[in-house]
Amino acid sequence: MSTQADLSRPAGGGHDADEEAVAIARKRASEGKKAEAKLGMMLCAPAALVMVAVMAYPIAYAFWLSLFRADLRTPDQNEFVGLSNYVTVLSSPIWWTAFGVTAFITVVSVILELVLGMLLAIVMHRTIIGRGLVRTSALVPYAIVTVVAAFSWRFAWSQDLGWLAGSSAPLTDRWSSIAIIILAEVWKTVPFMALLLMAGLALVPEDLHKAAAMDGGSAWQRFWMITVPLVMPSILVAVLFRTLDAFRVFDNIFVLTSGANETSSVSMVAYNNLIRGLNLGIGSTMSVLIFITIAIIAVVFTKLFGAAAPGSDEGGRR
Amino acid sequence: MQNETGKSKLMWLVIDLIVLLYAFIPVFWIISLSLKDSATLNDGNYFPRSITFESYQQIFANNDFTRALINSIGICLIATFIALLLGTFAAYAVARLQFPGKKIIVGMSLMVSMFPQIALVTPLFRIETAVGIFDTWLGLIIPYITFAMPLAIYTLSAFFREIPWELEKAAKMDGATPFQAFRQVIAPLAMPGVFTTAILVFISCWNDFLFALSLTSTSAARTVPAAMSYFQGATTFEKPTGPIAAAAVVITIPIVIFVLLFQRRIVAGLTSGAVKG
Amino acid sequence: MAARETAAASHDRSTRRRRRARWGVACAVSAALVGGLSACASGPEGTVINLYGGASQSGFEKIIAECNAAAGGKYTIVGNLTPSDADGQREQLVRRLAAKDAGMDLLGMDVTWTAEFAEAKWIRELDQQQTQAATAGVLKPAVETAMWQDKMYAIPKHTNVQLLWYRKSLVPTPPKTWDEMIQMAQKLKADGQKTYQIGITGGQYEGYVVNINNFLNMYGATVVNEDSTQATVGDKTVEALAMMKKVASSGVTSASLSNNQEPEIFAELQNGQSAFSVNWPYVYAAMGEASPEVQKDLGFAPMPTIKAGEEPKVTLGGMNFAISQYSKHPQEAYEAAMCMRDEKHQLMHSTASGEPAVLEALYKTPEMQKVYPMADEMLKELQNASPRPVTPLYQNISTIISSTLSPPGSINPQADAQELQEKIQQAIDGKGILP
């Protein structure tokens, strides 16, 4: 078995395997293309049905409402206003401040999470003692309910009440608030990254490392040449999902600062308009704008990483 | 050699310790809050000076909390199971098969996870009241499956694409039946991905607050994070910090058990699999 | 997080949430799904009045049970849990009312929601007879919180006002005015006292708006006219904002002022940071539990004013019962509400949970005086209190105020008043976005 594994996954990329895979794929395609298509669609149908059933109406409804002047209190007085809600939002400094804060938090926390998550994944994967203990405990931060974790951070950073603050009041200043928000985000989601990356690491054959080590590759070289390419799909998925999530950051800000000192994120602003202000038109417009922004991020991502993206026809072993 | 392993053991001990500190320093703060009494709650000490279990007694004396625990466990297990099942089908198709509409399913699942959830609450509430599943287990299970689907499809298909499927063929050539090939070769390789996904999906259901709050109205289906927001302080202006912290500690335990069970499967996937020689 | 209440002894914290009726419309469905787990074996008798809001307050179950017994089968009140914070409660009520949900009959509403809910036609106007019964003997300012455009939309349930709390050992006579209080605090600080600060809720949330509103009231300023058609920010508003800024920038407030909510200023009083604290009556009993030593040294006085000799005009808190427009049993709901706040039950509630009563006569009873040593001061403030801006757009205006004026130390009275005027007018016109 081990020889086969080695044959199929030579160090440094796996061209042979790919060619072989392509050949197999072609052959198979010509044989039963129709059967395969049918099977594929059947397998996807349940998932697709559930998603459409639950999401189609809410998403369509938000797009529709964003074109109206609409208030939840007076549902009969909705008035079609075209794109004027979009003009209002996009010309508002409130929106752009929140947008900047959100983008900053997203970029910084995802980068930190990726680096720390990779480190943690390697530790969880390779440690020789207490593996079960480390793996389980490392996941505990992710398991703590976000609102509670945020509340405990808030308490910890409150002047004289918390053990972290001492006599300073970091949550009353814009940048230290943002730093604490990022800390709370990162602490909680590094395990998410690590778990995804670790499962990717599990697919890297040990023999490959040994072989490379014998060839004189340093640990650093082995990491970049062997581990990273093989874990790439996991990295992409982890970073993509964290970015989408981080851009919608809400709970931590809501609890830690409730948006004081210009620390609102776009989701906070959308919440204030939609749920507090009951302004369905503006609130839906913001939701749609957040959606579009995230969609752009996702498209850029998948374009950048091309072959590693699920659904792309080229990559992967077949 | 002896010395070498001793050294590396020591190194890993230190590294493991760092990981544990990272994970537990803030968690112990929450535990500490749950054990403090109201006189020392605000004293700013990391460790409680005196310990009281009053907060724990309080939450377990609260029927709504225990009921919410049952709801949480039931709803999340069912949702995780179904999401994983549907997700595995779809992910296998996405990773392995050519079919029209593949891009659509991938795009669609991304879309689900891109829309701001607060914008979905009100329309979902309307659908559920119209259909009659508002404030039921089903009313939470269905959205949870939906929101878990993108993560499940993406992670699983990323793993499935990395599995050397040639092995399946090789096993068949060695005389294994298709089922044997699947069970003994492919399944062990797929397990780490499946169980990783299971853990992530379970935690995401477990921690959901927004939908648990807005799609329930009684303790028939209310889950723990929502139930916690119903905790009352002695008065409106006092936060029930102790009970909230205690509840946070209590509801983390099932997750730890869940992870403990499943992380073994992740290890098993590696050691019993075809790759390791 | 608007105003409601006081004290509760520690032991009833644990009993508070112990039992709650859990029958309901959804039971059948969930029973089918969950099998034996569902607890809806027997339904209540007669007409069910579903109460949302205020039902989980200390000792309220007993009141519900007594009223159900008194109804003799005519109706059965079912107290449903709601989130513990006012925003969460409003969110849930609004969502269900907008969907014309008939499952809610009686709504426990924060005093600031009346105009909004009435304007949206989510709650029923009381008829003349009901109005008379619901307002008899009730403190006039509390009645005003249940009115919108001269019509009565709710039954006053309980009320609340902030007091000035101070450390008797450091402050022999409580300050009469804000200027005096600032000077006293500065003197304590100059004398090297560690306990000198003025505790005040300055975080970006409703509790800060309560403080701003105190100053607006004291200067006679308003932010919106009576019909809520015009923003009315003016020179008096500028003066009020200047006062808020002065308090925040005289070196006598906590460094975390701009993040402080009630729990934080309470802790600062407990920790010996604050010599003065502007907070609700719950402080007395809560301090007895958290730190009996500090409680012994705790003095209370009416809220300081701007000029000496003025009567303080303090922001009113509290809760009212309203009847949902979509309730199928409005008459029974009304009767249930009146039972739950009749004299006997109101006294029970006020003394058990620390929600100050709306019935004026109760403040002189020995039971009330015993639980509220500050009952006389409270009554004095309550008689002269004023509601927060009465407008269907209260949530919007409150959000605008708290975000525009945050943090308190960087208020620019002139410019911020201008900004308030513009943003509030935009909100009235249905334009502009909330921060």
Q: pLDDT tens, C106-136?
A: 999 999 999 999 999 999 999 999 999 999 9
Answer yes or no: do A92 and C433 touch at CB < 8 A. yes
Is the separation of the CB atoms in B198 and B85 below 8 Å?
no
Answer yes or no: do C99 and B125 touch at CB < 8 A. yes
Which range has the worst mean pLDDT, A72-76, B103-107, B219-223, C201-205? A72-76
Q: What is the pLDDT of residue A11?
A: 38
When the pLDDT of each residue in chain B is averaged and rounded to a whole number, the result is: 85
Whether B87 has a pLDDT exceeding 60, the answer reads yes
Which residues of chain A lie closer than 8 angstroms to B270, CB-CB?
Answer: 202
Decide yes or no: CATH 2.60.40.1730 for domain B63-271.
Answer: no
CA distance B201 to chain C (A): 22
Q: Among residues C290, C268, A141, A166, which one has the least CA distance to residue B36?
A: C290
Distance CA C26, CA C11 (A): 33
Is the separation of the CB atoms in A248 and A33 below 8 Å?
no
Q: Among residues A248, A169, A97, which one has the least CA distance to residue C435?
A: A97
pTM of the model: 0.85
Q: What is the pLDDT of residue C1?
A: 35
Residue-wise pLDDT for A129-172, tens only, equals: 888 888 888 888 988 888 889 888 988 888 777 888 777 788 88
Residue C281: which pLDDT band, with cuts at 50, 70 and 90? very high
CA distance C414 to chain A (A): 20
Residue-wise pLDDT for A259-290, tens only, equals: 888 899 999 999 889 888 888 899 999 999 99
What homologous superfamily is domain A84-308 in, according to CATH? MetI-like (1.10.3720.10)
- Tokens representing B36? 């403090």
User: Given its phi and psi angles, is residue C272 left (phi above 0), alpha (psi -120 to 50 degrees) or beta?
Assistant: left
Of A33, A43, A294, the CB nearest to B89: A43
Q: Among residues A270, A285, A245, A248, which one has the least CA distance to residue A61?
A: A285
When the pLDDT of each residue in chain C is averaged and rounded to a whole number, the result is: 86
Q: What is the pLDDT of residue A312?
A: 57
Pairing of strands C75-80, C147-148: unpaired
Of C254, C431, C434, the CB nearest to A159: C254
ipTM above 0.95, yes or no: no
Distance CA A120, CA C387 (A): 55
Residue-wise pLDDT for A9-52, tens only, equals: 333 444 555 667 677 666 655 667 788 888 889 999 999 999 99
Count CA atoms closer than 13 A to C91's CA, side-chain side: 25
Residue B277: which pLDDT band, with cuts at 50, 70 and 90? very low
Which of C30, C101, C283 should one mutate to test binding to chain B, selecting the residue with the greatest count of B CBs within 10 A? C30
SS3 content of chain C, % helix, strand, coil (to 5): 45, 15, 40
CA distance B96 to chain A (A): 6
Q: What is the pLDDT of residue A45?
A: 92
Sorted by where each starts, the structural domains of chain C and their CATH numbers stand as 11-159+318-372 (3.40.190.10), 163-314+388-428 (3.40.190.10)
Which range has the worst mean pLDDT, B225-234, C224-233, C357-366? B225-234
The DSSP 8-state label assigned to residue A159 in this structure reads T
Distance CA A139, CA A141 (A): 6
Answer yes or no: do B235 and C83 touch at CB < 8 A. no
CA distance B64 to chain C (A): 8
Q: Among residues A174, A149, A153, A175, which one has the least CA distance to residue A165?
A: A153
Answer yes or no: do A264 and C255 touch at CB < 8 A. no
Whether C20 has a pLDDT exceeding 50, the answer reads no
Within 133-192 of B, beta carbons closer than 8 Å to C belong to: 133-138
Place of tokens 């403090």: B36
Is the separation of the CB atoms in C232 and C417 below 8 Å?
no
- Tokens representing C156? 């006053």
SS3 content of chain A, % helix, strand, coil (to 5): 75, 0, 25
- Tokens representing C309? 């000799």
CA distance A174 to chain B (A): 23
Taking CA atoms, what residue in A is nearest to C205?
A258
Q: What is the pLDDT of residue B163?
A: 79
User: Given its phi and psi angles, is residue A306 left (phi above 0), alpha (psi -120 to 50 degrees) or beta?
Assistant: left
* Most confident of the following: A7-16, A178-187, A227-236: A178-187
Which residues of chain B lie closer than 8 angstroms to C98, CB-CB?
Answer: 122
Distance CA C29, CA B138 (A): 9
Whether C192 has a pLDDT exceeding 90, the answer reads yes
Which of A96, A158, A274 should one mutate to test binding to chain C, selecting the residue with the greatest count of C CBs within 10 A? A158
